Amino acid sequence: MRRLTNLELLLLALLHTQPSSGYSLRKSFATTPLGHYSDSPGSIYPALERLRCRGLLRPLQEKLATRRRRQLFSITAKGLVELRSWLKRPITREEVQHDIQGLMLRYVVCAQLSGNASARTLVLQLGTRLQETVLELESYLRGPGKALPVAGRLAVEQGLEGYRALARWTARAGKELKRSSS
């Protein structure tokens, strides 16, 4: 079965904090800068439908005070299992290179669902993967990367710089989370 997209995981995480309607979920996205998650109906409603089909969320019947329809959804036990298994999945270098945004989302959700201690474990693991990625790129630049055209080399170096900055951030976040979880 297909892996959940970051959007779907974010929807589940938000539904975990409280049952919500598609409309209110959309509104939260308009201000959330944790990567770009569209607030367009064309992405949210189909995503909610996919999650419902997989049994990860369930519509709540609401006694409607007004005639304006409004569908609240709540996460199911199965949805929660899915969410927790995502949080526990080991971080891969592949993810570091291709889905930093997803990892950041995971960190935020982890802190909220499992607490600061778990978030700290995650963030330290991310730091380790980042260091590995940095070493890999450095050794690449010293070796085969020398043959790269100028543009390619600059691109690699810029990527490297980004990973270093993120690695420093994980170190600081790790320390702060230690204080607040002990």
Q: Please tell me the number of Cα atoms within 13 Å of 110 on its side-chain side.
A: 22
Restricting to residues 115-134, name those near its own copies by CB under 8 A. 133
User: Which one, 53 or 150, has the nearer CB to its own copies?
Assistant: 150
Could you tell me the end-to-end alpha-carbon distance of the chain, in angstroms, rounded to an integer? Answer: 39
Residue at token pair 């779907």: 8
Sequential DSSP letters for 74-105 = EE-HHHHHHHHHHHHSPP-HHHHHH-HHHHHH
**Residue 177 CB coordination number (10 Å):** 21
The helix or strand, by DSSP H or E, that contains position 58, with its residue range, turns out to be strand 57-60
Restricting to residues 159-178, name those near its own copies by CB under 8 A. 159-163, 165-166, 168-169
- Identify what 149 binds: DNA, its own copies, none; CB under 5 to 8 Å per kind: its own copies
Site membership for DNA, residue 101 (CB under 7 A): no
User: Which one, 101 or 128, has the nearer CB to its own copies?
Assistant: 101
Which bin fits 5, alpha (ψ -120 to 50), beta or left (φ > 0)? Answer: beta
Are 21 and 71 in contact, with CB atoms under 8 Å apart? yes
- Identify what 11 binds: DNA, its own copies, none; CB under 5 to 8 Å per kind: none
Please select the residue that binds its own copies; options are 78, 154, 175, 181, rule is CB under 8 A.
Answer: 154
Site membership for DNA, residue 42 (CB under 7 A): yes
- Identify what 24 binds: DNA, its own copies, none; CB under 5 to 8 Å per kind: DNA
Single out the segment in contact with its own copies by CB under 8 A; choices: 27-35, 40-48, 52-60, 83-91. Answer: 27-35
Site membership for its own copies, residue 73 (CB under 8 A): no
The binding track of 95-114 with respect to its own copies, each residue x by CB under 8 A or -, is --xxx----xx-xxx-xx--
